[in-house]
Amino acid sequence: MTRTPYDPESEGAQMAFKGRMSYGDYLQLDKILTAQTPLSQAHDEMLFIVQHQASEIWMRLVIHELTSVCEHIARDDLAPSFKKLARVSRILDQLNSAWDVLRTMTPSEYTTFREALGMSSGFQSFQYRAIEFLAGNKNAAMMRAHEHKPDIHSWLAAFLHAPSIYDQSIRLLARKGLAIDKSLVDRDWSLPYQPNDSVREAWLVVYRDPEAHWPLYELAEKLVDFEDYFRRWRFNHVTTVERIIGFKSGTGGTSGVNYLRKMLEVVLFPELWSVRTNL
């Protein structure tokens, strides 16, 4: 018995797109799928490019969401910030899974195209830097890697000089009547945040009576979720790099694994972690 091939047009599917917007048009796939241009003949360079480009696209969404979270917290509009922080945590989970794919590349395979990278390095990712600034890991020295691109440098400077999501959360605590050191409510946002006893005491008040402070309690836990996934992302990055290049210097001139390990020591929301010991 001969089966007639299924024709989706018979059920109303649109098949003619001359003069109409198609799926590929909407997503601008002609731009995205022609951006993978290996500089060597090595088979695994395509994996390396796709992995990093896909990560940058996800980071684009993280920046979009975290920027919005800062705006919501500043307006005391917490419910949407919970949804968006939860989404960011899921995105970071996706980014973590991507390291598993890259780890299928062996050291021998990486050496076949590493020279083609020149001085380019993930260390120079301006989107990753924006995420760090939004999360509160401020370091003006990191801006120097972007001075050759004035538009990007200016874009990053706006994040450097704006309150992070944790700064906005601390200001919220103060607006809700909790005793926050006044110096934290309006400070030089470009400087890294330093742990403060008044913030720890404020979070203690929230955690000791969650029902009386439920929105703040939920915000605190969403922030902890975010940092938890962010730490895993950093850790998986270190493990992947060590697995592939050992302790060689990075292509961008950093100390490679040793540099990345220093990043593991960064705590974004210190009082939200220390408060657990005090409860």
- CATH code of the domain in which 94 resides: 1.20.58.480
Whether residue 25 is contained in a domain is answered as: no
Q: Which amino acid is at 173?
A: L
Which pTM value belongs to this model? Answer: 0.92
Whether residue 124 is contained in a domain is answered as: yes
Q: What is the pLDDT of residue 249?
A: 67
| 9 contacts 15 by C-beta, under 8 angstroms | yes
Evaluated on CA atoms 20, 23, 28, 34, the torsion sign reads negative
| 63 contacts 158 by C-beta, under 8 angstroms | no
Residues 235, 92: Cα–Cα separation, whole Å: 12
Whether residue 237 is contained in a domain is answered as: yes
Q: What is the pLDDT of residue 254?
A: 64
Residues 110, 265: Cα–Cα separation, whole Å: 28
Whether residue 16 is contained in a domain is answered as: no
Q: What is the pLDDT of residue 159?
A: 98
Whether residue 27 is contained in a domain is answered as: no
Whether residue 235 is contained in a domain is answered as: yes
Whether residue 79 is contained in a domain is answered as: yes
Binding residues for substrate are 48-52, 110, 114, 251
Binding residues are 48-52, 110, 114, 237, 251
Instruction: List the chain pLDDT tens, one digit each, 279 residues.
Output: 678 888 888 888 888 889 999 999 999 999 999 999 999 999 999 999 999 999 999 999 999 999 999 999 999 999 999 999 999 999 999 999 998 999 999 999 989 999 998 888 887 899 999 999 999 999 999 899 999 999 999 999 999 999 999 999 999 999 999 999 999 999 999 999 999 999 999 999 999 999 999 999 999 999 999 999 999 988 888 888 888 777 666 666 665 677 677 776 789 999 999 999 998
Smallest CA-to-CA distance from 66 within 226, 271, 216, 203 is with 226
Q: What is the pLDDT of residue 239?
A: 84
From the CA atom positions of the chain, what is the Rg in Å? Answer: 23
| 254 contacts 145 by C-beta, under 8 angstroms | no
Binding residues for heme are 237
Q: What is the pLDDT of residue 151?
A: 97
Residues 5, 71: Cα–Cα separation, whole Å: 53
Domain that holds residue 89: 42-176+193-245+256-276
Whether residue 188 is contained in a domain is answered as: no
Q: In total, how many domains does the chain have?
A: 1
The percent helix, strand, coil of the chain (3-state, each to 5) is 65, 0, 35
